[in-house]
Structure 1
Amino acid sequence: MKRFERILIKLIVIQFIVLLCSQLLIQQSAIKPYLSKVVQYEGVNKQTITEWLETFNQ
């Protein structure tokens, strides 16, 4: 049982680290256009950031 508990604790720690890394990645403004599917739906993936923001502000 101790072996199972150690494995479980390691998995929880790894999951927490992955969660933190993914949250930090999502918050990066340079990465957002690549993660957002709205960009594909709106058809603004070839525009500059200012044109992209103007499209969503309208």
Structure 2
Amino acid sequence: MKRFERILIKLIVIQFVALVCAQLLIQQSTIQPYLSRVVQYEGVNKITITEWLETFSQ
């Protein structure tokens, strides 16, 4: 049982590190357009901030 617990703890640590890395990768502004396809589908990637806010305020 002790071996199983060690393996489980290692898997949890690896999962946590992967989660932190993914969150940091998503927050990078230079990489974000390649990861977020919603912006491309909605067609809001080339509008100004005011136009973007008007889209969400309607």
Q: Do the structures match in fold with TM over 0.5?
A: yes
Paired with 1:14 and 1:25, the residues of 2 have a C-alpha distance of 16
Partner of 1:52: 46
Q: Identity over aligned residues, as a percent?
A: 73
TM normalised by structure 2 equals 0.71
Partner of 1:32: 32
Structure 2 residue matching 1:29: 3-state secondary structure = coil
TM normalised by structure 1 equals 0.71
Structure 1: segments with no counterpart, 5+ residues:
45-50
Paired with 1:26 and 1:18, the residues of 2 have a C-alpha distance of 12
Q: Which structure is richer in relative contact order (CA contacts within 8 A, separation 6 or more)?
A: 1
Structure 2: segments with no counterpart, 5+ residues:
52-58
Partner of 1:8: 8
Paired with 1:20 and 1:38, the residues of 2 have a C-alpha distance of 22
Aligned residues: 51
Structure 2 residue matching 1:15: 3-state secondary structure = helix
Q: Does 2:17 match 1:23?
A: no
